[in-house]
Structure formats: C-alpha cells, structure tokens
Amino acid sequence: MAGLTASGIGSGLDVNSLVSQLMTVEQRPLTALATKEASYQSKLSAFGQLKSALSTLQTAANTLKDAAKFSATRATVAGGAPFSATSTSEASAGNYSIEVQALAKEQRTATSATTEFAPAAGDLIVTFGKVDGGIFTPGTAAPKTLNFAGGTLEAFRDAINDGDLGISASIVNNGTVKQLVIKGDATGAEQAFQLSGTTGLSVDPTVAGVSSDPTYNLAGAQDAQVNVDGIIVTRSTNTLSDVLEGVTFTLNKEDVGTPYALTVADDKSSATSAINAFVKAYNDLSTTIKSLTAYDAENKQASTLTGDATARSMQSQLRNMLGGAISGLAGAARLSDIGVSFTATGGLEVNSSKLTEALSNPTLDVGTFFAGTDTVDGFATRISERIDGFIGAEGLIAGRTDGINSSIKSIDNQREQLTARLTRIEARYRAQFTALDTLLSGFTQTSNYLTQQLANLPGSSSSN
C-alpha cells in the first residue's frame, strides 16, 4: 500500500512567504492612500509655484507705484571732470558749467620730524574755530578736554582716538623718529582746531611752521569752492546737494581755471525698465498657469491643476484688470494707452515706440496712471492689492493650501489606523499558518507511523 504523503507541506510550510503574499493584497488600501497623498503634495507644489510667480508680479507692480520714477532725470558730466554728479526727479533739465576751485579739507598737524614727542600726564584741550586773516576765532562750541594719565606716544594716540574729541591721531615712523599726526574729523574752514593744555602738545592753526618745530601744520582746514555758471559757491564738505535743486555733486580734485560741462536731462530708462519688468512678470505667471492647468488631449493626460477653479479665477481676474480702464484720471486710463497690450496667446507685449511717446507726453501722465492720486488708486496699486487677495494670509491660495494640508493630515491619520490594522492582520495570519504548520506536521508524523506499521504486516511485500 502506498504511503500517505503531503509534498511541500507539514513542517516545511513556508509561513513567511504565504503571509507576505497575503499582506501584499491587504496593503492595497495603503498604496492607494500614498497615491492620493502624492497627488495632494503635487497640488501644494503647484500652488507654491503660482504664489511665487504672483509674488514676483506684485513686486514688479509695487515698483511702478513710485511716481518719481516717471519724472526721473540723469546727470552727465564731461569726460575727465574732477567731480561726479547725480540727479533726482526734482532736478531741472539744463546745461551747466562747473569749475572746482578748491576741495574741502580737514586740518592736519604733526609733531617734530627731528625730535620725538614725549607726552606728559595732564589735560589736552581741543578748541574748534576758524582762521580768518591770520587770526584764529574760536567757534560757539565749548572746548573738549582729554585727561591723559601719562604713558607712551602710542598710549597718547589711543587716548586721543578714544576721547571723542573731534580729532583723530596716528603715528608715522619717518625713519628718524616717530611723528604723531593729528587731523580733524570733519572738513571745512570752521573745523580748524587749536591744541593746548599740560600734555606738552600745543598747536596754533594760524602758524604753518617747519618740520623741526615741536609741531607744524601740514594742511589747514578749508571749505570747498565751486564756480557754478559764474557764481562762487562754498561748502564745508565735498558733497554738495543744495547748490542745484535735485543735483548732488561729489568733488574729487581741484582743477582751477578749467570749467566742465554738466548736463541734466529727462531719463525715462528706469520707467521703461520697470514697465518691461512688469510685462515679463505677467507673462511668466501666464506661462506658469498654462503649464499647471493644461490638458494633453492626445495622450489624455491632465496637469496638476487642470480644471482647478482657483487657478482659473485668479487668471480671469488679472486679465480683466489688465484690460480694464481706470476712471477718474485725466491722462492714460488703460495699459493700451501707453503701448502695452495683449497678444493672441494671452500674454502682454510692449510697443516700444508707443511707450516712449507716452512717457514723453505730459498729457498722458503715465506716472499718475501707475501711481494714482490722493483720491484714485493707480494701476499698480490695484494690481498689487488684488494679488494680496490671492497670496495673502487670508487669500485664495492660503485657503486652498489649508484645505489640502487638512486632507494630507487626514491621510496621515488613516495611514496610522490602517497600519495598526495591518499589523493585527499580519499577526493573525502568522498565528493561523503557524497553527496549520503544527497540525500538518502532526499529520505527517501520523502518516509516517502508519506507513511503517503497514509495511511490517505479513505479506505486505507482495501486496502490490
């Protein structure tokens, strides 16, 4: 009689493989949750791209709020001029003749070049004033005093620099002795200083002196002097911002007897650049929206935000504003008035020649169109505020992303619950198959025993 066998089962049962295959089926809901979460994450990323593009457009719009940008001027100086110049919208266009006759300077004084100065403990008194006709006249400010405790020349230098005296000190080693060099912190004729006191350092700003003297003056304090169209102007600094309205001069060197031309002209380049930047920012946004909402009919493939109402609403609102008119302005009322219009594909384009003409036409008042008035919001302000409604803390995008994040959080909760359930299911499967393995193992042992017993029966060898 043939023996009872159970090939591949019994104590050889592959419990791990069986459980793994069953759990693969059980985990399908977990895979579905992961797919759904990935979709939500893609939407978050898409709205992030939209927000970034909208933010760039808002920045470009905010730049156009500055009305001064549309009345800007540019100052140009002749080549080799000993000064530079800048101008603002307050400057009047015109040509000017500028001659730099003197630079503003600070007083500079040094100790002897042959005998090294040794400071004594005591007071150093600094008095500021003006030298006029060889006479030093103290100014209205009270003298400043430094109480020096004594020490080296280096210690004296440091004490001066830390003393807030209106002067500063340095040490120059001329190869023979160390010289203490003192200079005023400010330029201008009224910044001459006199030094006195009990430290041994005495300076008279009216005496030039020679290098072998205990102290001698290297340079006297003086004002800048500029000839502007035949008018002599003096200032205490080399930066002059109140000579011509809206123009700032920076004097670099003296060039007595040689006048240089300064030209102030209207400058529309910054306004043109700002408008072009706005157009580019809108076109970039339009491209972003198109790529995120497109549908590939041939491959039947939707994009991340295909059919999304929020994206469509934002695009529609912006297009309406860009094509609409602003009432209450005397000049330009819409973008098309200044040469900015829609293309056939929905983007914006700039007619450069028309824009140049518009910027030069005071009746269109392009600056007011963008910046607005006290009673009428300009185009730039309206666009910026509308974008705030999209990307602000309470805006459309925030509402959508909050909802998506809530959905992702819900998926996380479902995943936790499902994972716990799968753990229990796996434990049950393992328990059931382990029990089955034990049972089959018992059956196998019984089968083997019966086979042996039957083989021992009389005549069993010829029974077959």
What's the rounded mean pLDDT across residues 184-210? 96
- 126, 143 Cβ separation under 8 angstroms: yes
Share of residues in the chain with pLDDT > 70 (%): 93
Which residue in 323, 316, 376 sits closest to 348, CA to CA?
323
> Which phi-psi region, left, alpha or beta, contains residue 105 (left: φ > 0; alpha: ψ -120 to 50)?
beta
pLDDT value at position 13?
A: 67
**Candidate from 97-101, 181-185, 307-311 with smallest mean pLDDT:** 307-311
What's the rounded mean pLDDT across residues 283-290? 94
pLDDT value at position 107?
A: 98
What lies within 8 Å, CB to CB, of 149 at 6+ separation is 121
* Domain ranges (residues) in the chain: 1-72+268-458, 73-103+225-266, 108-222
Which residue in 98, 110, 229, 90 sits closest to 177, CA to CA?
110
Identify which of 33-42, 269-278, 295-304, 449-458 has the greatest average pLDDT: 269-278
- 322, 335 Cβ separation under 8 angstroms: yes
Measure the CA–CA gap between 27 and 36, rounded to whole angstroms.
15
What's the rounded mean pLDDT across residues 297-317? 86
pLDDT of 12 above 70: no
pLDDT (tens digit per residue) in 426-442: 778 777 777 776 776 66
- Neighbour count for residue 131 (Cβ, 10 Å): 21
pLDDT value at position 442?
A: 65
- 6, 440 Cβ separation under 8 angstroms: yes
pLDDT of 167 above 60: yes
What's the rounded mean pLDDT across residues 433-462? 69
β 94-102/260-266 pair status: antiparallel
pLDDT of 7 above 60: no
- 370, 68 Cβ separation under 8 angstroms: no
pLDDT-based confidence at residue 43 (cuts at 50, 70, 90): confident
pLDDT of 286 above 70: yes
